[in-house]
Each structure stands twice: as structure tokens, then as C-alpha cells.
């Protein structure tokens, strides 16, 4: 029976992974990493993600995944804010890291992982950039020189995930370390939702810098006799091939993957045997009911859905049968989870009434935002926290989402906060004001739109706007649509009335905002 982690032609058994983790922990320790410190990584889906993450945990340090789409400016911010003492990075991404750390007062040690051929092929990366350069500290050579870590494991905290911030900069979610009792309860509750069991076989196809696939991959890898296959980049036909070749039983997916699978020609879909699939869990973005029904018709009653966030963890869950009985619901509260729907005054609303969703898991350690305790206080009410989502709970306790987070856009399962983009736009000398928001997109659920008020006679064009953004933010944050308007609708306070800008796009699509 296949076990371990597979990345391209490389297979790493659990015993070999444990040895690499022990060596990495010793190496990190020698570089000054201690309990409560941070170890960053900027990697595509590769074995080094597991090695670096688990090694940081042995030392009681926070693993910090860095989105590899980030610009040098964004990388610099995360490294500075987290105080990372080390960063592990793929060779083809090294130039951005070097630029990002150039002006840091305390730059992290840089350990370079070769970008293997199957990853380079998936992203069409120039081969010359995939190999470490002379003078680089090469990850696997460095590992081989380290002794095994033999001290007792320290309390391992969760990864410090950087979520896009409503005030323009991402915020690191720094959770208190877990007690053994908390981990045991959390695992017992989450395992059936995620489908974790001994002998599971999964393909990790979503980027591991995202919280949900990261948690799923680490949880799957911890299962007894598990097989974790790393797909470097989502490809619908290749995923079907991997399912058949490896007899995959479990998957974590986001709805845009369902869309792309269903768009495959019928003869390609029929070519592959997917009968081994037992449990598919999806989250991270709204799933259109017709898409979900089509996947159920194809794969059977194996789809499970949950609602949660980096801050709150998993809060609700629903099976295929429950969803078919309550279409559109994201499920009922799991054990130890509390859900309350509150109005603007903080009063709890009865079943069926729409308000802001506040939640809490009693078995999950509390968190703060790295270097921003005020923001943490701002999301709490009576011990519960909000992600800014709006919805209602029906009489049977099923949660329904009505609106996305205030202003947040979820495009293909990726959270994007317009304030960050607006902050960059307003720096352009030719832009007087702007508004960025989500518009309907048939493939990704939502896409970004920017309505820009230019400075008169400046000669600004939509291409100028996009070019400016690409210099400062990741490519996926550049709006698909850019429009120039002489005037923008405003509230009495002078603030842009963003809802009036959004409404026409959503009304024409027949969808609620």
C-alpha cells in the first residue's frame, strides 16, 4: 500500500520525513529560532512545506506561510511584521525575497529549495531560475549537515496565517499554543468533517499557503498509513488521472475546481475511474447550487461542506444529504461551536432574521492579530468573534450566508480585501479617488472591479491603472475590470457610496449583494 508524501517523481516515507523534520529543527535552533518565534516559508506545493512547518512546531515556533504571488513589497511587510528569523524559499521565487529583505533591519536567514522540474513545468518557469545560485544555502544540503533534534517537542502553535486586512495590510493570526487536551478534542470533532481516517489517500491541489488546504494536508499527512500526493498546480484532467492512479479517497477543494472539472468534455470525464472517492470537503467560497448538484450527480453523495475562517476555525458542517434537504446551507454548528446572529445594536436575532454572524469554538485557543490588538478587540462581542459575514439561522439550526464579508471579495476561494488595493491606487498621481469591489464572475464566483476618478487632464488610462498596481501587489489583486468616471456617487459624509457602484453589476446577474 502506498504511503508517505509524493511530489512529482519523489516519494518521502513518514520515517524519512520525521528525520528531515528533526534535522531542520536543530538547524533552526542553531539559527536562533526559539519558542514563540517565527519561521517563514514561500514555497509552492512541495515536501519542504511539511519539513519546515513541522520543524518549527517542534521548537514551539510559528510557521508563517507567505503567498508566493506576493510582490517584494508585500513579502517585506510579512517578514517584518512576523519577525521571522528564517525563510525557506523556492529558488525561482528568491529574487523577490532578496528584494523584500534588502531594507529590513533584521533580515531572516534564507534557505533555498530547488524548484523541481514538475513544478517548473506546471508554471512554465524558466529553468535557469530553478536552481540555487553559488553562495546560496541550499535546503537539502543544509539539512544533511544538521544533527537530529532530540529534545522533547515544545507546545506547537498553529501556523500564523496572514489574512488580507480590511485596513489595507494583511494581519497575522497569532493563536495561543494548543494544549494536548485541546488538540485531542479538536481532532475528534474535525476528523469526520474532513474525512481523516487511517489509510486515506488524498491529492493536495490547492496552494498550501492558504489556511484550509494547509490544515487539510497536514492533518491528512498525520493519519496512519496515509498517502498525500502534491499536485503543483490545479489541472482538472490531471487531477482525474491522479485520482485513478493512486485510488484517491479524500479531497479538499474549492468551488472553482468543480466548475473546471465540469467543463471538461464528457469523453474526458468518462475516461477516468473516480469510484475510489469517499469524502470530498469544500469551503472557502460560495458554491452555486447547480454546480454542487452536478458534482453530486457525477461523484455521488460524497460532498461535505463547512463554514469557518482562519480566526474562528471550523464552525459548521453539512453532508450531502443535509445539503440536499437544505440547499444553500453551510450546515449546523459542530460540537463546541456557538453561533449567534446579532443586529447592529448587538441584540440576538430570532431564527430566520438576517444579521451579522458571531461565532466561537470553545476547544480552539484564542488568538490575536500580530502587532494589532485593537483590531482583535474590534471583531469581538460578548466573547464571540465575527468575520463580518451576514446571514441567518433557520428554525432547524442551519446557517445560511446572505452577504460576503463587508467589502471582501472571494475570487476562486481567495480572500481579497479592496482596501489594500485602494490604498495602492490612491498613491498614483493621476488618481483622485477610487472604489474597488467584487462583481459576478461565472468561473471564479467574484472578480475585482475598480472604478477610478482620474485627475482632470492627466490622461490616465485603464492600462496605466493596472500597470501601477502590478508594481505593488500580487497579480491576482489587479482588477479584471477598470473603468474611469469623472464623478463617483458619495454619501453625505463624502465617502464613496460603493453599494451604488456594485448594484448594477449584481442586478444584471440576478444575484443578491
* CA distances in angstroms from 436 to 273, 459, 482, listed in the order given: 43, 21, 9
What gap in Å lies between CA 5 and CA 311, rounded to an integer? 28
Residue 2 falls in which region: left (phi positive, over 0), alpha (psi -120 to 50) or beta: beta
Q: Looking at residue 442, what is its pLDDT? A: 84
Number of H helices, E strands in the chain: 17, 27
First CA to last CA distance, the chain: 49
CATH topology agreement for domains 12-165 and 178-300: yes
Q: Which residues lie below 8 Å from residue 167, measured CB to CB, with a gap of 6+?
A: 375, 419
Cell of 211: 489556511
Q: Treating both helix axes as pointing N-terminal to C-terminal, what angle do 211-222 and 47-58 enclose, rounded to 10 degrees? A: 80
Q: What is the pLDDT of residues 386-424, one digit of tens each?
A: 988 888 999 999 999 876 666 778 888 887 878 788 878
What gap in Å lies between CA 452 and CA 436, rounded to an integer? 9
Q: Which residues lie below 8 Å from residue 115, measured CB to CB, with a gap of 6+?
A: 44, 90, 91, 92, 93, 125, 129, 130, 131
Domain 409-509 top-level CATH class: alpha beta
In this structure, which CATH number among 3.10.20.740, 3.40.50.980, 3.20.20.10, 1.10.760.10 belongs to the domain 12-165? Answer: 3.40.50.980
What gap in Å lies between CA 286 and CA 252, rounded to an integer? 15
> Within a 10 A sphere around the Cβ of 167, how many other Cβ atoms?
11
Point out the residues of the chain with pLDDT beneath 50: 165-167, 492-493
**DSSP labels, 308-366:** EETTTEEEEEE-HHHHHHSTTB--EEPTTEEEEEE-TTSPBPPTT--EEEEEEETTSPP
Residue listed under C-alpha cell 454546480: 291
Please say whether the beta carbons of 7 and 16 come within 8 A: no
Residue ranges per structural domain of the chain: 12-165, 178-300, 327-406, 409-509
* CA distances in angstroms from 84 to 66, 81, 110, 132, 473, listed in the order given: 11, 8, 11, 21, 21
Q: What is the pLDDT of residues 66-115, one digit of tens each?
A: 999 999 999 999 999 999 999 999 999 999 999 999 989 999 999 999 99
Domain 327-406 of CATH type 2.60.40.1120: no
Please say whether the beta carbons of 379 and 385 come within 8 A: yes
Residue listed under C-alpha cell 479538536: 186
DSSP E strand stretches across 249-324: 250-253, 279-282, 303-309, 313-318
Cell of 132: 540555487
Q: Looking at residue 166, what is its pLDDT? A: 44
Q: Which of 142, 17, 38 is nearest to 85 (CA)?
A: 38
Dihedral angle sign, alpha carbons of residues 424, 427, 428, 432: positive
Pairing of strands 279-282, 250-253: parallel
Q: Looking at residue 427, what is its pLDDT? A: 83
Paired residues of 137 in beta bridges? 111
* CA distances in angstroms from 253 to 250, 487, 500, listed in the order given: 10, 41, 33
**What is the phi/psi pair of residue 49, to 5°?**
-60, -45
Q: Looking at residue 40, what is its pLDDT? A: 98
Domain 178-300 top-level CATH class: alpha beta
Burial 418-449 (b: 16+ CB within 10 A, else e): bebbbbbbeebebbbbbbbbbbbbeebbbbbb
Amino acid at each position: 500500500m502506498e504511503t508517505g508524501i509524493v511530489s512529482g517523481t519523489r516519494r518521502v516515507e513518514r520515517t524519512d520525513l520525521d528525520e528531515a523534520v528533526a534535522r531542520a529543527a536543530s538547524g533552526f535552533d542553531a539559527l536562533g529560532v526559539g519558542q514563540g518565534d517565527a519561521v517563514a516559508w514561500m514555497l509552492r506545493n512541495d515536501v519542504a512545506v511539511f519539513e519546515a512547518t513541522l520543524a518549527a512546531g517542534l521548537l514551539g515556533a510559528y510557521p508563517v506561510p507567505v503567498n508566493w504571488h506576493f510582490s517584494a513589497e508585500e513579502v517585506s511587510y510579512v517578514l517584518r511584521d512576523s519577525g521571522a528569523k528564517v525563510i525557506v524559499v523556492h529558488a525561482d521565487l528568491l529574487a523577490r525575497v532578496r528584494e523584500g529583505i534588502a531594507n529590513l533591519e533584521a533580515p531572516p536567514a534564507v534557505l533555498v529549495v530547488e524548484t523541481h522540474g514538475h513544478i517548473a513545468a506546471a508554471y512554465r518557469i524558466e529553468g535557469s531560475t530553478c536552481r540555487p545560485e553559488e553562495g546560496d544555502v541550499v535546503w537539502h544540503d543544509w539539512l544533511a549537515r544538521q544533527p537530529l533534534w532530540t529534545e522533547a517537542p515544545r507546545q506547537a502553535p498553529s501556523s500564523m496565517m496572514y489574512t488580507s486586512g480590511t485596513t489595507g495590510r494583511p494581519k497575522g493570526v497569532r493563536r495561543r499554543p494548543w494544549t494536548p487536551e485541546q488538540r485531542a478534542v479538536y481532532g475528534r470533532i474535525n476528523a469526520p468533517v474532513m474525512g481523516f481516517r487511517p489509510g486515506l489517500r488524498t491529492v493536495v491541489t490547492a496552494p498550501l499557503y492558504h489556511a484550509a488546504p494547509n490544515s487539510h494536508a497536514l492533518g491528512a499527512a498525520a493519519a496512519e498509513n496515509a498517502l498525500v500526493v502534491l499536485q503543483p498546480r490545479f489541472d482538472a484532467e490531471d487531477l482525474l488521472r491522479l485520482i485513478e492512479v493512486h485510488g484517491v479517497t479524500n479531497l479538499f477543494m474549492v468551488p472553482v475546481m468543480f466548475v473546471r472539472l465540469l467543463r471538461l468534455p464528457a469523453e474526458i470525464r468518462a475516461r477516468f475511474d473516480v469510484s475510489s472517492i469517499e469524502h470530498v470537503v469544500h469551503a472557502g467560497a460560495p458554491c452555486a447550487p447547480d454546480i454542487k448538484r452536478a458534482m453530486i450527480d457525477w461523484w455521488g453523495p460524497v460532498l461535505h461542506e463547512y463554514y469557518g475562517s482562519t480566526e474562528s476555525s471550523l464552525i459548521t458542517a453539512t453532508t450531502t444529504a443535509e445539503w440536499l434537504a437544505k440547499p444553500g446551507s453551510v450546515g449546523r454548528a459542530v460540537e463546541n461551536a456557538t453561533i449567534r446572529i446579532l443586529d447592529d445594536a448587538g441584540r440576538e436575532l430570532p431564527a430566520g432574521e438576517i444579521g451579522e454572524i458571531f461565532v466561537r469554538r470553545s476547544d480552539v485557543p484564542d488568538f490575536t492579530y500580530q502587532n494589532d490588538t485593537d483590531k482583535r478587540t474590534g471583531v469581538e462581542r460578548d466573547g464571540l468573534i465575527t468575520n463580518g459575514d451576514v446571514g441567518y439561522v433557520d428554525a432547524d439550526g442551519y446557517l445560511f450566508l446572505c452577504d460576503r464579508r463587508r467589502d471582501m471579495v472571494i475570487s476562486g476561494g481567495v480572500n481579497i480585501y479592496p482596501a489594500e488595493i485602494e490604498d495602492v491606487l490612491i498613491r498614483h498621481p493621476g488618481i483622485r479617488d477610487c472604489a474597488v469591489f467584487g462583481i459576478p464572475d461565472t468561473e471564479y464566483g467574484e472578480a475585482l472591479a475598480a472604478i477610478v476618478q482620474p485627475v482632470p487632464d492627466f490622461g490616465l488610462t485603464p492600462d496605466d491603472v493596472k500597470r501601477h498596481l502590478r508594481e505593488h501587489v500580487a497579480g491576482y489583486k489587479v482588477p479584471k475590470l477598470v473603468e474611469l468616471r469623472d464623478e463617483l456617487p458619495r454619501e453625505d459624509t463624502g465617502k464613496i457610496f460603493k453599494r451604488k457602484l456594485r448594484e448594477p453589476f449584481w442586478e444584471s446577474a440576478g444575484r443578491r449583494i
